[in-house]
Amino acid sequence: MELIGFEKVRDGKYLKNYEITYLNKIGREKKYEIVSRRELDSAEDLGGKPSGVSIVATKGDQLLLLHEFRMGVNRTIYNLCAGMLEKDEDIETCIARELYEETGLKVKKIKKILPPSFAAVAISDTTTYIAFVEVDGEFEDNSSANEQISAKLYTREEVKALIDHEEPFSSRAQMAAYFFSLGIM
């Protein structure tokens, strides 16, 4: 695949749309559309700066899951606590802020922050960190008026039941929940 063109086609408030043109493996032109959370000057900027974090949080032998309404799919799903890095914010501060805003809980210990990975590789260049943390405190609703979030700690058995009953999950939350239910984390 050879990149031969890169053009912004829409400039939204939160997402920018780009059309990328390639020559495919048999030499034919292929146009592909992506979205980005960032302003991209060229194709070299694709997947550059991480934009946020997904937080796999535990408290003792329980996993934190959010049951939240997501406008993009018009339904309530199980998800991880997550959010966007603010300008000049470091990842540790972002983790603590997002966790508190969405749940009222506080970070007790950051166990591991994985390097940035692509969040939706088929449609976006967005990269995010995945953080594994231990949490403490009591639940509070500090979310914005534009968020409908119910946060709860689940045992391994409760998580397994959610997965077995095919409840709707985000893919990252489903993967974390599956490994948690097996006792791997």
Q: Tell me how many domains the chain contains.
A: 2
Per the confidence metrics, is the pTM higher than 0.85?
Answer: yes
**12 pLDDT exceeds 90?**
yes
Which residues form the domain of 174? Answer: 52-181
pLDDT at 48: 84
CB 43 within 8 A of CB 20: yes
Q: Scanning the structure block, which residue is given the tokens 């791997």?
A: 184
98 and 168, same domain (yes or no):
yes
- The letter for the amino acid at 87 is K
pLDDT value of position 129? 97
**What CATH number is associated with residue 103?**
3.90.79.10
Q: Is the dihedral of CA 40, 43, 49, 51 positive or negative?
A: positive
> What amino acid is encoded at 122 in this protein?
A
- Terminal-to-terminal C-alpha distance of the chain: 39
Q: Are residues 74 and 160 in the same domain?
A: yes
Query: Do residues 74 and 117 share a domain?
Result: yes
Mean pLDDT estimate for the chain: 94
Phi, psi angles (nearest 5°) of residue 101: -60, -40
**Which residues fall within 8 angstroms of residue 166, CB to CB, at 6 or more apart?**
none
**pLDDT (0 to 100) of residue 141:** 84
Q: Residue 145: which pLDDT band, with cuts at 50, 70 and 90?
A: confident
Provide CB contacts within 8 A for 176, sequence distance 6+. Answer: 56, 63, 80, 185
Do 38 and 67 lie in a common domain?
no
User: What is the C-alpha to C-alpha distance for residues 136 and 149, in angstroms, rounded to an integer?
Assistant: 18
Could you tell me the two tokens for 185? 């984390």
Question: pLDDT tens, 113-125?
Answer: 999 999 998 899 9
What is the tens place of the pLDDT at every residue in 154-183? 999 999 999 999 889 999 999 999 999 999
CB 60 within 8 A of CB 74: no
SS3 163: helix
- Least Cα distance to 91 among 128, 121, 56 occurs for 128
Tokens of 126: 């967005």
| 71 shares its domain with 122 | yes
